[in-house]
Amino acid sequence: MEFESRSFIGSRAEQQDHYNVMQDQKGLFAVLCDGMGGRKNGSLAAQSAVDIFSAAYMRRNTDVDPKFLLTTAERADRYIATGIEDKSGCTVICAYIDDDRKLMWVSVGDSRLYVFRNGRLRQVTKDHNYFYLLNKKLENNEINEKEYKAAGMRGEALISFLGMNGFELADISIRPLALLQGDIVLLTSDGLYKLLGDANIERLLALHQGDLGVCADSVIGRVKASNEPSIDNTSFILIKI
């Protein structure tokens, strides 16, 4: 397994994305948190969550499993809610790949986990934003397309994140996902997928998958070269199996 990570502040005054990757003989542990800009101390919340996940991984006395990942997220949530001044919050996407190429994860918020295989990029986690609720309502015919689109202005607002002191929604792996040699796992903050879109990320990974460093450079290069007047904090981790 090899990994690469890249980060770009974009047009923001502060980088509120934080991440860490740790690799040992047993596996690879990656965590990425995106601090919430609308709240004070978003960067501190994200850094704290990364620290809590990293410390939990280093001090664990059990195997990493979904229970470990989710309870660590709950601990980070409590810490951010009670231990940081003012209301602050962050997302988390944390993934662990063991030496048997089994992938497991936890996600709270709208940072994402993807798996790239045979040229195709697949989103693994769901975004816990207002669209999440609207999609459910649309499926159940509680609202129609028009109402969906009208409400969609606020659709990207998070409804679950670390710092709520009891977050409601999460994504976890209920059983490990078996990765194959050549698969690329992507953990990313929303800055990347909102700017480039899945199709462009997929194309760049497919083009440069032979060299993960080149791959990461091309993705971040594409973000930096964007003509958009406002570019969000962008951070991602690529792991090649």
Smaller CB separation from other proteins, 8 or 114:
114
- 107: burial class by Cβ within 10 Å (0-12, 13-18, 19+)? buried
- 37: burial class by Cβ within 10 Å (0-12, 13-18, 19+)? middle
> CB of 220: closest distance to other proteins in angstroms?
20
> CB of 10: closest distance to other proteins in angstroms?
27
Smaller CB separation from other proteins, 157 or 207:
207
The Cα-based distances of 119 to 7, 66, 116, 184, 200 in angstroms read 24, 28, 7, 10, 12
Smaller CB separation from other proteins, 67 or 149:
67
The answer to whether the CB of 106 falls within 8 A of the CB of 94 is: yes
> CB of 165: closest distance to other proteins in angstroms?
11
The Cα-based distances of 221 to 142, 210, 227 in angstroms read 43, 17, 12
* Interacting residues toward other proteins by CB under 8 A: 48, 51-52, 54-56, 58, 65-67, 70-71, 74-75, 78-79, 82-83, 103, 115, 117-120, 122, 124-126, 167-178, 180-182, 202-203, 206-207, 209
> CB of 230: closest distance to other proteins in angstroms?
29
